[in-house]
A and B are shown apart, each in its own frame.
Chain A
Amino acid sequence: MGVLNRKDLLFIGLLAALVLIVLPMALEPFRLNLVGKYLTYGFVALGLVLCWGDAGILSLGQGVFFGLGGYCMAMYLKLEASTPEATKIQSTPGIPDFMDWNQITELPLFWQPFHSLALTLIAIPLVPALLALVVGFAMFKRRVGGTYFAIITQAIAAILTILIIGQQGYTGGVNGITDLRTLHGWDIRTDHAHTVLYFVNAGLLIGCLLLGQYVRRSKLGRILVAMRDKEDRVRFSGYAVADFKIFVFCFAAALAGIGGAMFTLQVGFMSPSFVGIVPSIEMVIYCAVGGRTSLLGAIYGALAVNWARTTLSEAFPELWLLALGSLFILVVVAFPDGLAGIYRKTFDPMLDRLLPWLRRRPSVHGPAVLPAQPIASAE
């Protein structure tokens, strides 16, 4: 069918073996739960590869979509945890505790749908995608792109954080939504639940990876790359450039939303600190470290950076920021193609020599042609 060639299969198989077999066997439950958390950032990084690597749209607001997905999940879990029996010491039993602290006596309307698990599951990809649709429509239809688009998404991230923090009666404010207990009656706090959620998460991630690969190998994916390299050429060929951009932006947003929901389930709460500017930019660096034009690279990037963060901040908390900052600069200046770039330059030709039957069909993402730098706008 042309979506996956032999080499893709080999490497996706390797990733699956790593996250589904090697890591669960090698790590104790606590560390495995951490890896599960890192993998949720992999969803965002996948979206960024399509958005930024392929289409040249850098969004510095992916944290918004991650957060929205996470909040949708958290609202459902919070409602389930706030039964009238569990909250009987409140002035108004049956509503989340932070609402009671803020003198709210009735569940707000926009919380109502989250009583239902089905609606919640629909909302998780849909709410982020809808916001992306509105933003994308307003921006891309007017041909706003490049750096300016990046800082607008960043402004949106800042604004949304301030709104969430300011409306604490409805959102839990700066504390976020905490103390989540069960998913449809199933306790998500036990080690067993964490293990189950880890596998669900890893499976979903590989599913999304395949979906992303499908999009890239389709005609749509080629148009995206063509747009990145010379937008006007594609426009003059008669394609509606803006529509393609809007689609890929929404797709990335939906992926981020799924990641956020999985994050909430595994960590047990959601807070506005994921919506802001800082996490949004960090998510971009996961993608950059892994290689902005490689889906697999993005996942390895998310794993590698977060693993480094945990290890370094345990050993030398003061050095962590220096290391992260230097990593940003190093990757951007010296290795713009990240881990995947290093692989393509050095190991891929070797692999081709050693295992000739693996050789890829030539494709737009093929190793022979290193993708040009994504230059989105202005020039």
Chain B
Amino acid sequence: MLMGYSFGDLGSIMAMQGFAGLILFSVFVLMALGLAVIFGQMGVINMAHGEFMILGAYVTFLTSRLFTTYLPGAFGAYFFVAVVLAFCAAGLAGMAVEWLLIRHLYRRPLDTLLATWGLSLILQQVYRSVFGAREVGVDQPEWMMGAANLSESIQIPINGLIVMALTTLIAVAVYLLIFRFGWGKQIRAVMQNRAMAGAVGIDTARVDRLTFGLGCGIAGVAGSAFTMIGSTSPTAGQLYIVDAFLVVVFGGTGSLIGTIASAFTISQARSTLEFFLSGSMAQVVVLLTVVGILMLRPQGLFVLKVRR
């Protein structure tokens, strides 16, 4: 006996707590990956990232409505359709934004930040006008909302497992795309030396547009996944964006591995501390540590050795 709890209890709690940490890690990676791809590869901070996430969430909402109305029999599988649609919708919207807005500002990285912030305000108001100011309830099929019983007392949330699976899938896909395929070579070439990449015949404008679209598409998938664990409202993007920024900043830029490592560190610290402290205190401790480390290592955990 320890603190009045049996060892069996403590064992299952530790197992469940381990999963809680992993789920939080997956959520962070999913949130931050799109942001990191765009920032790392293009040097552009997409302040409308949260709003692209919510676009994915609303697409999921609409898909669930469509399925309830026209295909109630296939409702159990609607989510997978929704994820794909969310990726396409957010990705296409991202490419449109790149074409209309971002490409005029590549020589002014600070200005893209302001322009995308303006975009996020507009998107919030558009969502409010279209879907109403209230939260919308996104119905999930029954099988997704339950818990998997690993043993008598160990229960793992199924939606958490789905988030983990999605995150793994996306992370592996992004890795392959950027480091194993020809297109990734082009992205990296443009990132390292835009002029030279253009000179050897790479269509840099096209690479930029696709990269931005990819980042936004990942945001859409994240938004779609978060309908399982959080709320969908015009301003819900703001709930996630702070964490996403922290993960990217803490991880250091230009390094996807850094983003993942930072998501892992922050999520484990937060989930462990939340178990022992109050939720608020845990966040304060984590944030203060992050600030402290940023003061000592302002470039973040992992830095590409580029002389500035």
Interface code B248-286, partner A: CB below 8 Å = 1, 0 otherwise?
110001000000000000000000000000001101100
Interface residue from B44, B47, B107 paired with A375 (Cβ < 8 Å): B107
Distance from A287 Cβ to chain B, minimum over Cβ atoms (Å): 10
Q: Flag if B121 contacts A325 (CB, 8 Å).
A: yes
CB <8 Å contact, B121 and A144? no
Note all chain B residues with C-beta closer than 8 A to A152: 249, 294, 298
Interface residues of A in 299-351 (CB under 8 A from B): 318, 321-322, 324-329, 331-333, 336
B287 touches A148 (CB 8 A): no
Contacts of A378 in B (CB 8 A): 43, 109, 308
Pairwise interchain contact A333-B105, C-beta atoms closer than 8 A: yes
Q: B249 to chain A: which residues have CB within 8 Å?
A: 148, 151-152, 155
Flag the segment in B111-119, B141-149, B208-216 that touches A: B111-119
CB within 8 Å for A333 and B104 given contacts A135-B295, A152-B294, A163-B284 = yes
Q: Interface residue count for A (Cβ, 8 Å)?
A: 51
Given contact pairs A151-B249, A333-B104, A375-B107, A321 touches B113 in the complex (Cβ within 8 A):
no
> Are B287 and A159 in touch, CB under 8 angstroms?
yes
Q: What sequence of 0s and 1s flags, for each residue 119-141 of chain A, a beta carbon within 8 Å of any chain B beta carbon? A: 00000000000000011001100
In the assembled complex, B84 has its CB within 8 A of some CB on chain A? no
A150 contacts across to B, CB distance below 8 A: 45, 110, 113
Chain B residues, Cβ within 8 Å of A60: 113
- A158 proximal to B (CB < 8 A): yes
Q: A151-B249, A162-B284, A163-B284 are in contact. Are A328 and B121 (CB under 8 A)?
A: yes
- CA distance in complex: A203, B101 (Å): 40
Shortest A362–chain B CB gap in Å is 26
Contact of B115 among A52, A151, A328 (CB under 8 A): A328
Could you tell me the distance between the alpha carbons of A185 and B113 in the complex, rounded to whole angstroms? 45
> How many Å lie between the Cα of A166 and that of B295 in the bound state?
22
Chain A contacts of B298 at CB under 8 A?
Answer: 138-139, 142, 144, 152
Query: Assuming A58-B110, A166-B284, A281-B114, is B245 touching A154 (CB within 8 A)?
Result: yes
Query: Which A residues between 149 and 199 are near B, CB-CB below 8 angstroms?
Result: 150-152, 154-156, 158-159, 162-163, 166-167
Q: DSSP majority for the B interface?
A: helix
Closest to B298 in A: A144
In the complex, whether A373 has a CB less than 8 A from a CB of chain B is yes
In the complex with contacts A144-B299, A377-B308, A378-B308, A326-B118 CB distance below 8 A: yes
The answer to whether A373 touches B107 (Cβ under 8 A) is yes
Chain B residues near A336: list those with CB within 8 A: 108, 111
Q: Which of A135, A162, A321, A373 contacts B125 (CB 8 A)?
A: A321
Contacts of B118 in A (CB 8 A): 324-329, 332
B62 at the interface (CB under 8 A from A): no
The chain B residue sitting closest to A163, CB to CB, is: B284
In the bound complex, residues from chain A placing their C-beta under 8 Å from that of B39 are 147
Max chain A CB contacts within 10 Å: which of B47, B120, B121? B121
On chain B, the residues within 8 Å of A288 by CB distance are: 114
Question: Per-residue CB proximity of A85-112 to B under 8 Å, as 1/0?
Answer: 0000000000000000000000000000
Asked if residues A325 and B295 are in contact (CB atoms below 8 Å), the reply is no
Chain A contact surface mostly = helix
Chain B contacts for A16, CB-based, 8 A: none
Q: How far is the CA of A296 from the CA of B39 in the complex (A)?
A: 34
Interface residues of A in 343-379 (CB under 8 A from B): 373-379
Taking a contact as CB atoms closer than 8 A, the residue among A151, A166, A324, A331 that contacts B283 in the complex is A166
A151 touches B308 (CB 8 A): no
Closest to A159 in B: B287
Minimal beta-carbon separation of A94 from chain B (angstroms):
27
Please give the distance in Å from B24's CB to the nearest CB on chain A: 17
Q: Mark B74-116, 1 if CB is under 8 A from A, else 0.
A: 0000000000000000000000000001001101111101110
Is A146 engaged at the interface, CB distance under 8 Å to the other chain?
yes
Whether, in the assembled complex, A209 has its beta carbon less than 8 Å from a beta carbon of chain B, the answer is no
Any A CB within 8 A of the CB of B124: yes
Give the residue name and chain of the A residue nearest to B281 (CB).
A166
- Judged by a CB distance under 8 angstroms, whether B290 is at the interface is yes
With most chain A CB atoms within 10 A of its CB, the pick from B104, B105, B107, B308 is: B308
Q: For the complex, is B29 an interface residue (Cβ under 8 Å from A)?
A: no
Per a CB cutoff under 8 Å, which of A166, A325, A331, A377 touches B119?
Answer: A325
State whether the Cβ of B69 lies closer than 8 Å to any Cβ in chain A.
Answer: no
**B113 nearest CB across to chain A (Å):** 6
| A interface residues with partner B (beta carbon < 8 Å) | 52, 58, 60, 134-135, 138-139, 142-148, 150-152, 154-156, 158-159, 162-163, 166-167, 277, 281, 284-285, 288, 318, 321-322, 324-329, 331-333, 336, 373-379
Q: Top 3 closest A-B pairs, CB basis?
A: A328-B118, A325-B121, A325-B122
Q: List 19 A-B contacts (CB under 8 A).
A: A148-B299, A152-B294, A154-B245, A159-B290, A163-B287, A166-B284, A281-B47, A325-B120, A325-B121, A325-B122, A326-B118, A328-B115, A328-B121, A332-B111, A332-B115, A336-B108, A373-B108, A375-B107, A378-B109
Contacts A138-B298, A331-B114 supplied; 14 other A-B pairs, CB < 8 Å: A138-B295, A138-B296, A143-B308, A147-B110, A155-B246, A155-B291, A159-B288, A281-B114, A285-B114, A321-B121, A328-B117, A332-B105, A332-B114, A374-B108
